[in-house]
């Protein structure tokens, strides 16, 4: 549920989206999650989607190079294209450097 | 639904949480959202919570100073304390510098 990330600095990719169609989405999403986890530099992922179709997925990466490689990965590029043609009405991707963290456990 | 943020650089605070109790939460959450929007340096917010209680809220800020001021705001500090005592079983807060963005609109 919470990504087990190292001490900063590392990078986060915040992907905020609105999904308006579902056909084939879950299979591709599951496959991309499994594939991301095998990529060099992948640190973890957190993802939530509400009933209104709005979702926030944050993936964590060691450096900008690993983010660029994942963005350019062939199978991921096909999935991104399907995202634009089939599933998402809109999205914003923000690439960020994580500088500080605080956590709490009851 | 999507925060209308300026060109980078700016800052993001990624707040990932698990909420296990609800009493009084919505009123405080609504009040904190309204109050945050009046703070100098506030740029926008995106928030999703799933049925399993896991939520991701990302707030966007002009600079680290505005994030520090909001963290230290008296009414917000009371709400943070209630979050720890009453609502959240765990959370992680990550303070990040947004370096690049990409967006898509169908």
**Residue range B10-31, pLDDT digits in tens:** 999 999 999 999 999 999 999 9
For A61-83, what is each residue's pLDDT tens digit? 999 999 999 999 999 999 999 99
- Write down the pTM of the prediction: 0.97
Alpha-carbon distance A28 to A49, whole Å?
Answer: 16
- The stretch B75-80 carries a mean pLDDT of 98
Report if residue B42 sits inside a domain. yes
Token readout for B47 is 């928030």
Overall domain count for chain B = 1
Kindly state whether A101 is in contact with chain B, defined as any CB-CB distance less than 8 angstroms: yes
What is the least distance, in Å, from the CA of B25 to any CA of chain A? 17
Strands B42-49 and B54-61: antiparallel
Say yes or no for a CB contact (<8 Å) between A91 and B103: yes
CATH code for position B71: 3.30.70.100
In a domain, A34, yes or no: yes
Provide the pLDDT for residue B49.
95
Interface test with B, best of A96, A97, A98, A104 (most B CBs within 10 A): A96
* Domain range for A49: 20-98
Residue B76 belongs to a domain:
yes
Tell me whether residue A10 is in a domain.
Answer: no
pLDDT value for B1: 79
Q: Is the pLDDT of residue A102 over 90?
A: yes
For chain A, the average pLDDT equals 97
Closest CA to A14 of B19, B33, B54, B96: B96
Does B90 score more than 90 pLDDT?
yes
Tell me if B101 and A88 make a contact (CB, 8 A cut-off): no
Q: Tell me the average pLDDT across A36-56.
A: 96
Minimal-distance CA residue of chain A relative to B59: A14
């Amino acid at each position: 549920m919470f990504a087990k990330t190292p001490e900063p600095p590392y990078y986060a990719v915040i992907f905020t989206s609105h999904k308006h169609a579902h056909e084939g989405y879950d299979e591709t999403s599951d496959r991309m999650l499994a594939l991301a986890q095998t990529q060099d530099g992948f640190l973890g992922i957190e993802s939530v989607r509400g009933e209104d179709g709005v979702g926030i997925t944050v993936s964590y990466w060691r450096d900008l190079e690993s983010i660029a490689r994942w963005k350019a990965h062939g199978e991921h590029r096909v999935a991104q294209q399907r995202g634009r043609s089939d599933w998402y009405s809109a999205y914003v991707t923000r690439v960020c450097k994580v500088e500080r963290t605080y956590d709490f456990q009851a």
